[in-house]
Amino acid sequence: MSKVRTRFAPSPTGYLHIGGLRTALYGFLYSKKYDGDFILRIEDTDTARYVDGSVQIIYDTMRDSGVMYDEGPDVGGNFGPYVQSERRDIYLEYAKKLVEAGGAYYCFCSHERIASLKDEEGNLRYDKHCLKLSKEEVESKIKAGEPYVIRQNVPLEGTGSYHDLVYGDISVDYKDIEDGILIKSDGMPTYNFANVVDDHLMGITHVIRGTEYLSSTPKYNLMYDAFGWERPVYIHLPPIMKDAQHKLSKRNGDASYEDFVNKGYVKEAIINYIALLGWSPKTNTEKMSLTDLIENFSLDGISKSPSIFDDVKCRWLSGEYIKEMSFEEYKSRAIGFLKNSKAYGKYDEDKLLSLAKGRIQIFSEIPEKIDFLEEFGDYDLSLFENQKQKASIELAKTILPEIKQTLSNVTDWNNSNLFGVLVELSSKLEIKKQALLWIARIAITGFESTAGGATEIADVLGKDETIRRIDVSIEKLNA
């Protein structure tokens, strides 16, 4: 078998959305699994849809996510250029060859004539009018400078069939395919032509793309056959849905990879989750690094049915990655988000970050988890009442001065020392440690629920601030 070569062929029309990235990822995984090559090709022939800056977004996203290509516009390779607008002459040359082979023809019909062919519903079906022109007529029209397009010559009868590795055998009647334009009047190819020429010339063995191309593939096969080229293996992927009715798409303004990263999802989790959107591993675990994904990826795990993007699951995975991340790694990724917290700059950075780690799923949750540290204020004394923890206002009144006393004597202020002395105090006072810790936590935060227990929070607040807050609370209890 020849070396596996797959490609991702995005059109630069804006952010790289989740569906596009999944197509890229599957192409990447499949090629890497078989030690093949993964190619990036920019399909920019539709100038009307071109969005400035989007090529750079594609490069950045692929690098950043680790779905990196071996060949592409900015890295080079032996099959370039990898940008379609730079391959204009190549397409023209092959279009002419296709005309010679009978697979295409020149069409000089005016806009008016084309418009007159539309049926009641506005659908256009070209009537092969220019197919009748003789070679001489065509040549003289071209010489005279008449504008033209080149159209595919699709047989009027017969059926085009092929086997898709996901969807099985696909057949389309040629009578349902129109003689589409391959080369536009400005000399630029359409996607329908360029994808065939490029996939062949770039040695692509497996074409992986969205189901929207499932039914157009027979017309591409006609061209492969007319050129005498080997057809690639086809793998069409089901759409990703936002919900049962709506496709996830950038046209609907749905999230791109970049949006997810900006919202603080762990990159590895985004890629991990995207891999599972339409593919099921045979392993028991769903948390997989890129290396695990390469090892486990297989085409037979790809599903035919659309998958619904499950944000809850994606967040959960992100949280799992955060839990397992080394503190250094976590810090470098989380610090930008920490800066949005009120507590930032007031306390030790590492302690703030530790308080959040293990309690968040995405980095942007950091502020909401730790902002309470800066919101100590006029809380309700009833918070001390907690039957389950055996705590009460009365108990708080009696033990808070003891807690204060004990904490004042601590010289080495850290979570484990603080925890040790408070547990010791609770046995000395013969009360449940949960009750004591509950009271201490309410006294220093004023919140019923917080990230972290009393001593973890006291550690972050520091000795002076902790004692000051306990004083405030004692005063409040005695007022």
Per CB under 6 A, residues contacting ligand GLU are: 9-11, 43, 191, 195, 209, 213
Q: Between residues 11 and 415, which has the closer beta carbon with respect to ligand GLU?
A: 11
Q: Between residues 10 and 72, which has the closer beta carbon with respect to ligand GLU?
A: 10
Instruction: Return the biggest CA–CA distance within the chain.
Output: 109
- Cβ proximity of 297 and 33 under 8 Å: yes
DSSP 333-353: HHHHHHTTSTTTTTS-HHHHH
Cα–Cα distance, 104 to 98 (Å, whole number): 6
CB of 359 to ligand GLU, least distance (A): 40
Q: Between residues 213 and 227, which has the closer beta carbon with respect to ligand GLU?
A: 213
Residue 337 half-sphere exposure toward CB, CA atoms < 13 A: 26
Place of tokens 């630069």: 12
Q: How many CB atoms lie within 10 A of CB 430?
A: 6
The CA R_g of the chain, rounded to the nearest whole Å, is 32
CB of 58 to ligand GLU, least distance (A): 10
CB of 9 to ligand GLU, least distance (A): 4
Q: Between residues 204 and 226, which has the closer beta carbon with respect to ligand GLU?
A: 204
433 given a catalytic annotation: no
Report the side by side order of strands in the sheet with 168-173: 37-40, 5-8, 206-210, 233-237, 159-164, 168-173
The closest residue (CB) to ligand GLU is: 209
- Cβ proximity of 356 and 347 under 8 Å: no
CB of 81 to ligand GLU, least distance (A): 16
CB of 10 to ligand GLU, least distance (A): 5
Cα–Cα distance, 73 to 39 (Å, whole number): 9
Place of tokens 């536009």: 184
User: What sign results for the dihedral spanned by CA atoms 141, 146, 150, 156?
Assistant: negative
- Cβ proximity of 70 and 193 under 8 Å: no
Partners of residue 161 on adjacent β-strands: 171
CB of 19 to ligand GLU, least distance (A): 9
CB of 225 to ligand GLU, least distance (A): 18
Q: Between residues 24 and 422, which has the closer beta carbon with respect to ligand GLU?
A: 24
Pairing relation of β-strands 37-40 and 5-8? parallel
Q: Between residues 27 and 264, which has the closer beta carbon with respect to ligand GLU?
A: 27
Place of tokens 């490029």: 198
State CA 54 to chain mean position distance. 15
Q: Between residues 196 and 366, which has the closer beta carbon with respect to ligand GLU?
A: 196
- Cα–Cα separations (whole angstroms), residue 419 to 22, 199, 387, 436, 453: 47, 65, 22, 11, 10
Cα–Cα distance, 104 to 106 (Å, whole number): 7
**Which one is catalytic: 96, 184, 247, 250?**
250
- Which residues are known to be catalytic? 250
